[in-house]
Amino acid sequence: MQTAEGKLYLFVGIDRTSKFAVAQLVATADRKTAWEFLQHLLEAVPYQAHTILTDNGIQFAEQPRNRNTITSRPMRFDMICEANGIEHRLTKPNHPWSCEDRKTVRGTVFPSGGQVERMNRTIKEATVKRFHSENHHQLRTHLADFLAAYNFARRLKTLNGLTPYEYICKIGTSEPHRYIVDPINQMPGLNK
């Protein structure tokens, strides 16, 4: 994403079931910013994620020729996943739009496929294509405003008219064992 100040990279995570979105603008898209985004994502959701699907970018995984060799070492992204009981899956090479394996058990997946590609387009339409940002701060502000409106106010047909946050709260009452913190604690505004 471009501003008058220069280029920023966008990391996006979307919960497959609730459509809750987390995004972050960074100056570089490298391994460090990838695992920092993963930590940010894990702090942003009130429940335990069990699977994360990413593309095969070097910020998320070793190059295929270097995987599972004697000299390969675990990446910090994978170590964070393992420490949190999360399975890290990769999309098929050259198929970033492919959706996650539908045979997985019901639950949270932060996909890299079609949902994220669509959300990237939606974010760009709501920020850089709609507003001219003089600097990175303005762009980050527009992104934060869009995500708040999307997660807490936008009613989605796929969720039967609920917002992603309302859906999370609804599941939290029927399946409280899946939650690390009470989702009410993540409501923005004066309720905190």
Residue 118 has pLDDT above 60, yes or no: yes
Give the Cα separation of 77 and 87 in Å (integer). 11
- pLDDT for the residue 55: 85
pLDDT tens digits, one per residue of 130-168: 877 888 999 999 999 999 999 999 999 999 999 999 999
- pLDDT for the residue 104: 31
CA torsion angle 7 43 19 101 (round to 10): 90
Q: Which domains does the chain have, with CATH numbers?
A: 2-186 (3.30.420.10)
pLDDT tens digits, one per residue of 31-44: 999 999 999 999 98
DSSP 3-state of 6: strand
Residue 123 has pLDDT above 50, yes or no: yes
pLDDT tens digits, one per residue of 37-84: 999 999 988 888 999 998 888 888 877 666 667 667 778 999 999 999
Half-sphere exposure of 137 (CA within 13 A, CB side): 0
Span 12-17, average pLDDT: 90
Percent of the chain, pLDDT > 70?
Answer: 80
Q: Provide the 10 A C-beta neighbour count for residue 5.
A: 13
CA angle in degrees (0–180, nearest 5) for 66-62-22: 170
Residue 112 has pLDDT above 50, yes or no: no
Q: Which residue has the higher pLDDT, 111 or 152?
A: 152
Overall pTM > 0.85: no
Q: What residues contact residue 150 under an 8 Å CB cut-off, 6+ apart?
A: 21, 122, 164
- pLDDT for the residue 188: 67
- pLDDT for the residue 105: 33
